[in-house]
Structure 1
Amino acid sequence: MNVTAIENFVCVIYNISFMNCTWHVDMNTSGDTQYFLYWKTSRKEDFLRCQNYMKDNCGRHTGCRFQNVTIEENRKAYFLVNESRNGQNILPYRKTINLYEIEKLTPPLNVTVNCMGVPHSCEIQWQPPRTSHVKRDICFKYEIVIEKKADPEERIKNTSKTERIITGNSYIFDSFSAKKRYTVKIRATNNHCLVSENWGEWSTPVEFGREQLTSISSYTLLLISVVAASLILFFCIISIYLKRVLTVVLQPKDPFHGISPVNFQTDNQFTKHETEEIITIIEEVA
């Protein structure tokens, strides 16, 4: 019996839970030849058939895409590829793979650069890549690449690159110059755990240096200007308010203010009337 004629069977897990499996087809096979992929993650399970094939120009299956793939520590996966060719009995291609070994690690997360502390140095920090089966930071080591960029505005033409292999989630770059521009990128690999030995994906380059410091300075100046304007306006309002309050308090009060002239006349008339009555009583007694 013939064996299924495929070569270079490779599977890769990426973005935590997606998996692609591909293979090369023998170009000398007949046009009606077709290939079918099956897989399972336990000997006790039944094989599952691929539902999303990749095809070549002749319509032959050359790969399969899987979703929601879960990696468990030391969990093996079993693959087989069947070949259909004119009703012949053909032995399937078989392969067993440790799933953690075929994972393409995601880039390290949240890469930040802080150059505001000690002069001529920057602290670069990041978080471990995302994975479905490893939760310990010590399981990763990193390659960090810092590149000094050319800057026509500052007439800096030469470039240089700093490469380091480190553990941990931070690195002190002590060759920093505020007049130069830099980029940093990081990728991860295994550090004595059940993690793929292959290097993962690079993080998006982060720029820092002259442009970053200029941006920070501009923001700081804008913030200071807004705060200063707010304080001036506040003191002006307080000054006007206090001036009005003091004017009202210190103004002397008129002791005759509010006495009605009508009331004054009424009192005089009442006094005169009483005097006249007293005089009349005295005359009658005499």
Structure 2
Amino acid sequence: MNVTAIENFFCVIYNISFMNCTWHVDRNASGDTQYFLYWKTSRKEDFLSCQNYIKDNCGRHTGCRFQNVTIEGSSKAYFLVNESRNGQNILPYRKTIYLYEIEKLTPPLNVTVNCTGVSHSCEIQWQPPRTSRVHIGDTCFKYEIVIEKKADPEEGIKTTSKMERNITGNSYIFDSFSAKKRYSVKLRATNNHCSVSENWGEWSTPVEFGREQLTSISSYTLLLISVVAASLVLFLCIVTIYLKTVPATVLQPKDLFHDISPVNFQTENQLIKHETEEIITIIEEAA
């Protein structure tokens, strides 16, 4: 039994649920040397073999790609690399890793900047990065924020200047704002006293603001405002066309005298006279 020849075994979790594990092999290894990776997330489980190997030019396995990886709290993962050389099994390589320690955090999400010319300040807001770990709170992250004043030949500014801060929370007030200058801001996240990777995550896409733009908002908000404005204009056009094409109906007051059915006053007088005569006749007979 010889000591395994692989070196620099390394794993990283990225894009929330993907994991790559790689290793270096002995340069003097024979052509029929091969490596097989197995892993599990609990001592009680059985090892699972790699299903998607990374290979070198000689066809030797030098890594493995995994999908749908999740992190349950501070759980460990157990890795085993078997080496087969000249038909003989070499002493396997073993390593135990806390999965949260090897995760590459995604950039903070939905970075927006809102500036006001009155206070000469900007409020920068964002949402926490996504992670493969379940049940994690916003307070588990701290951020590095970099605000850069852009070069501006028109203003005689030939170089850029940066301001860096390490902060917690999901917002930051930039109080050195000038509407005539052009700025950009980007952020990245790391652990803040939780079971999160101590390594800095990926940078967010820079967001530019300034240069007479008193309010810089997200593209989603701009799209929403445009849709509402277009809908209002369309509604007013439809109402205008409707009023022009449909004739207005004017309600006329009723003519009470005209609506009353004509009465035959001669017939009515005869009826009254007849009824009166009958009443007089009845009274005479009673006497």
Per the normalisation by structure 2, the TM-score is 0.74
Q: CA offset at residue 16 of structure 1?
A: 1.3
Do the aligned partners of residues 122 and 214 (structure 1) sit closer, same or farther apart at CA in structure 2, a change above 3 Å counting?
A: closer
Q: 1:152 to 1:214 in 2, by over 3 A?
A: farther
Paired residue for 1:260?
none
Contact kept in structure 1, 2:112 and 2:216, CA below 8 Å: no
Per-residue CA distance 1:145-171 (angstroms, 9 max, x = gap): 001111234432231000000011000
Shift of residue 135, structure 1, vs aligned partner: 2.7
The gaps in structure 1 that reach 5 residues or longer are 246-286
Q: How many residues in Structure 1 have an aligned counterpart in Structure 2?
A: 233
The CA distance in 1 between the partners of 2:46 and 2:57, in whole Å, is: 31
1:206 matched residue in structure 2? 207
One-letter amino acid of the structure 1 residue matched with residue 183 of structure 2 = Y
Tell me if the contact between 2:39 and 2:78 (Cα under 8 Å) persists in the aligned partners.
yes
* Corresponding residue SS for 2:116: coil
Q: Take 1:214 and 1:76, find their aligned partners in 2: how far apart are those partners?
A: 47
C-alpha contact 2:112 2:207 (8 A) present in aligned 1 = yes
Q: Distance in 2 between matches of 1:213 and 1:118?
A: 9
Q: Note the C-alpha offset of 1:120.
A: 1.4
Question: Structure 1 pair 44/209, CA: closer, same or farther in 2 (3 Å)?
Answer: same
Unpaired stretches in structure 2, ≥5 consecutive residues: 251-287
After superposition, give the CA deviation of every residue in 1:6-47 in whole Å (9 maximum; x if it has no partner).
111011111111100011111111111111110001111111
3-state SS, counterpart of residue 115 of structure 1: strand
Q: Counterpart in 2 of 1:55?
A: 55
Where do 4+ consecutive residues of structure 1 move more than 6 Å? none
Give me the whole-angstrom Cα distance separating, in 2, the residues matched to 1:118 and 1:35. Answer: 65
Residue range with higher mean Cα deviation, 51-60 or 112-121: 112-121
Which one-letter code corresponds to 2:60 in the other structure? R
Q: Please give the TM-score of this superposition, normalised by the length of structure 1.
A: 0.74
Q: How does 1:131-146 map onto structure 2 within 5 Å?
A: 131=131, 132-146=133-147
Per the alignment, residue 35 of structure 1 pairs with 35
Query: Are 1:98 and 2:107 an aligned pair?
Result: no
Q: CA–CA distance in 1 between the matches of 2:18 and 2:213?
A: 36
Counterpart-to-counterpart distance in 2, 1:63 and 1:188: 28
Looking at structure 1, the residues matched to 2 and 118 of structure 2 have their Cα atoms a distance apart, in angstroms, of 69
> What whole-Å deviation, never above 9, does each CA across 1:90-149 have from its counterpart, x for those lacking one?
110000001111111111111000003643110000011112324311111000000111
> What are the residue-to-residue correspondences of 1:97-136 with 2, within 5 Å?
97-116=97-116, 118-131=118-131, 132-136=133-137
CA–CA separation in structure 2 for the residues paired with 1:173 and 1:18 = 36
**Which has the larger displacement, 58-67 or 125-134?**
125-134
- SS of aligned partner of 2:139: helix
SS at match of 2:100: helix
Listed one character per residue, the Cα deviations across residues 214-241 of structure 1 (whole Å, up to 9, x for unaligned) are: 989xx99xx8xx98xx89xx8xx99xx9
In the aligned structure 2, how far is the partner of 1:7 from the partner of 1:212? 54
Equivalent position of 1:185 in the other structure: 186
Q: Give the Å deviation of 1:60.
A: 1.1
Helix, strand or coil: the match of 2:164? strand
